[in-house]
């Protein structure tokens, strides 16, 4: 279950974090230390135990399916690094 450099590269890619090539070995080492630590969980007898979904036994409240908010594009865009003409702007996505 040891993580190698290629796995570290793949995980960084999945997480959308640019990691320079010369950092990948060290990163794999850190992953292995953490995953080695959590490996202890395999010792526990979990037969028949439901994975916890909610720590307090409660039913999620329901609300009416109606619009309760909106109409404030300026506020929504106020913190955007790049907003133009009422939209978030990003680099070209489709060629």
Contact residues: other proteins, CB under 8 A: 3, 7-8, 11-19, 27, 30-31, 33-35, 37-44, 46, 49-56, 58, 60-61, 63, 72, 75-76, 78-82, 88, 90-93
Q: To the nearest whole angstrom, how small is the minimum distance from the Cβ of residue 54 to other proteins?
A: 8
Q: In angstroms, what is the C-alpha Rg of the chain?
A: 22
Nearest to 29 by CA among 1, 11, 4: 4
Q: To the nearest whole angstrom, how small is the minimum distance from the Cβ of residue 28 to other proteins?
A: 10
Enumerate the H helices of 15-83 as residue ranges: 24-38, 73-77
């Amino acid at each position: 279950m040891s993580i190698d450099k290629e796995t570290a590269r793949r995980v960084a890619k999945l997480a959308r974090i640019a990691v320079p090539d010369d950092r990948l070995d060290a990163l794999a080492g850190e992953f292995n230390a953490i995953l080695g630590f959590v490996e202890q969980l395999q010792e526990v007898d979990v037969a028949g135990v439901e994975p916890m979904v909610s720590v307090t036994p409660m039913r999620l409240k329901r609300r009416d399916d109606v619009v309760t908010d909106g109409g404030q594009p300026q506020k929504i865009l106020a913190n955007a690094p790049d907003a133009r003409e009422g939209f978030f702007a990003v680099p070209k996505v489709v060629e």
